[in-house]
Amino acid sequence: MLTPGQRLRALREEFGLTIRDVETASIRIAAKHQNDDFIIPLSRLSDIETKGIVPSIFRLYSLAVIYRRDMREFLAWFGVDLNGISSDLCLVEPPRSHRSEALDPATMVRVPMKLDPAFDGRKTTNIGRMIEQWGTVPLAYLQDFTATEFSYGYVGTEDFTMYPILLPGSFVQIDETKNEVMNGVWRSEYERPIYFVETREGYTCSWCALKKDQLILQPHPLSPAPVRILQHPRDAEVVGQVVGVAMKLGDWRPCKTVPEPKVPAELC
């Protein structure tokens, strides 16, 4: 198997470029961006091709331009696959809820290509055992399945606003076209829309009610979080409705005491 350096050298030779040609081209790129970090000296390119030296992000950009390749491909050659970001997000658990744009650079995704014929959508199933074949599909192909623009958020490990139906550490899918608060009578807490809200202090997921210019952020009754009343849209804005959620279960431990629900000052 060829090393990244050998693959870069093969590309250079395929284009009929000498090491001097690459250096000259990189000098022009550096001049345009007014940054000498884009320059690839003769000796450095030789080291990259033969000694396993990893180029800087600036030099990698220059190589991507000179060789007419996607820089993400070069990053993957050196062990940084941007399509793997989704599987690594669970390794970091920020305490605050936030919008997530980490998946934007991804261009490919692994999806089920073939299901077991015995799959019955009416029954709870171990999907992993029902998938007979996985395949890699360009994300651009998946755009044909939906015309709705979604964004994604992460519920911080310290955000218990919608606990226990929406656990801290969850990833949520947000439909930004549904950013108008719906009022009504809901038959269950699962039917009542959950909204992803941006406030001056950050983001949160909550039930909402809008009364004139006041946005009421209503937590789950079992949550220790207080009811919050904020000026709309000055102090709080509804980003959209939560339409999907991915939660990891099984990491919770019994606690000896349960925090008392907080009561906002204006309700005392």
The CA-atom distances, in angstroms, between 166 and each of 75, 204, 247 are 36, 11, 8
Q: Which of 5-19, 44-58, 69-83, 112-126 has the lowest mean pLDDT?
A: 112-126
Residues of the chain with CATH 1.10.260.40: 4-77
Question: What pLDDT was estimated at residue 4?
Answer: 94
Question: What pLDDT was estimated at residue 186?
Answer: 84
pTM above 0.75, yes or no: no
Q: What is the pLDDT of residues 219-248, one digit of tens each?
A: 999 999 999 999 998 999 999 999 989 887
Per-chain mean pLDDT for the chain = 81
Q: What is the pLDDT of residues 187-203, one digit of tens each?
A: 888 899 999 999 988 88
- Say yes or no to pLDDT of 3 above 80: yes
The proportion of the chain whose per-residue pLDDT surpasses 90, expressed as a percent, equals: 46
Please state the rounded mean pLDDT for residues 165-175. 88
Strand 131-138 and strand 195-199: the pairing is unpaired
150-267 falls under which CATH superfamily? Umud Fragment, subunit A (2.10.109.10)
Question: What pLDDT was estimated at residue 45?
Answer: 95
Question: What pLDDT was estimated at residue 156?
Answer: 86
Alpha carbon 58 to its chain centroid, in Å, reads: 24
> What are the DSSP calls for 129-182, one per residue?
HHEEEEEEEEHHHHGGG--S-EEEEE--TT--TTTTTS-TT-EEEEETT--SPP
Largest CA distance in the chain: 78
Going by pLDDT thresholds of 50, 70 and 90, the confidence category of residue 127 is: very low
Question: What pLDDT was estimated at residue 152?
Answer: 83
CATH fold of 4-77, please?
A: 434 Repressor (Amino-terminal Domain) (1.10.260)
User: Helix 19-33 and helix 57-66: axis angle, to 10°?
Assistant: 110
